[in-house]
Amino acid sequence: MSKNVVICGAGFIGSHIARAFAASNPQVRLTLASRNPSRLREDLSRSITPDVKSASVDVTDISTLRPAFENAHTVVSLVGILQGSPAKFEAVQWKGAENVAIAAQEAGAKLIHLSAIGADPNSPLISPRTKGLGEKSVLSRSPTATIIRPSLVFGPGDSFFARFATLSAFLPFMPVFGGGTSRFQPIYVGDIARLVEICSHTEIPQIKTAVEGKILEAGGPEIFTYKQIMELVLKYTGRWRPIISAPFWVGRMQGMVFEQLPENILSISRDQVSQLELDNVVSEEQARTVPDLLEAHAGGPLKSVHEILPTYL
Q: pLDDT at residue 305 above 60?
A: yes
Torsion of CA 180, 220, 272, 79, to 10 degrees: 180
Specify the 3-state DSSP secondary structure of 55: strand
Helices 97-107 and 126-141, packing angle to 10 deg: 20
pLDDT of 210 over the 60 cut: yes
Residue 17 has pLDDT above 70, yes or no: yes
Q: Which amino acid does the sequence have at 261? A: L
pTM of the model: 0.94
* Secondary structure letter of residue 231 according to DSSP: H
What percentage of the chain exceeds 70 in pLDDT? Answer: 95
* 257 confidence band (pLDDT: 50, 70, 90): confident
* Tens digit of each residue's pLDDT (9 = 90 or more) over 22-39: 888 888 888 888 887 766
Taking only Cα atoms into account, the Rg of the chain, rounded to an integer number of angstroms, comes to 19
As a whole number, mean pLDDT of residues 244-267 equals 85
**pLDDT beyond 90 at 245:** yes
Check residue 1 and give its pLDDT.
Answer: 59
For residues 8 and 109, what is the distance between their CA atoms, to the nearest angstrom?
Answer: 13
* Residues 11, 9: Cα–Cα separation, whole Å: 6
pLDDT the model gives residue 44: 65
Show Cβ contacts of residue 26 under 8 Å, excluding neighbours closer than 6 positions.
Answer: 49
Give me the CATH code for the 4-153+186-219+282-303 domain, please.
3.40.50.720
Burial status of residue 269 (CB atoms within 10 A of its CB: 0-12, 13-18, 19 or more): buried
Q: What is the pLDDT of residue 192?
A: 97
Question: What are the pLDDT digits (tens) for 148-207?
Answer: 999 999 999 898 999 999 999 999 999 999 999 999 999 999 999 999 999 999 999 999
Statement: residue 139 has pLDDT above 90: yes
Over the chain, what is the mean pLDDT? Answer: 91
> Phi and psi at residue 307, in whole multiples of 5°?
-85, -35
- What would the pLDDT profile of 38-95 be if each residue is shown by its tens digit? 666 666 666 665 568 888 899 999 999 999 999 999 999 999 988 888 999 999 999 9
Long-range contacts (CB closer than 8 Å, 24 or more residues apart) made by 25-28: 25/1, 27/1, 27/2, 27/3, 28/2, 28/3, 28/4
% pLDDT > 90, the chain: 72
Q: How distant, in Å, are the alpha carbons of 51, 115, 117, 134, 142 from that of 128?
A: 36, 9, 8, 10, 21
pLDDT of 223 reads: 98
Q: Mean pLDDT, to the nearest integer, of 245-270?
A: 85
φ, ψ at 27 (rounded to 5°)? -90, 5
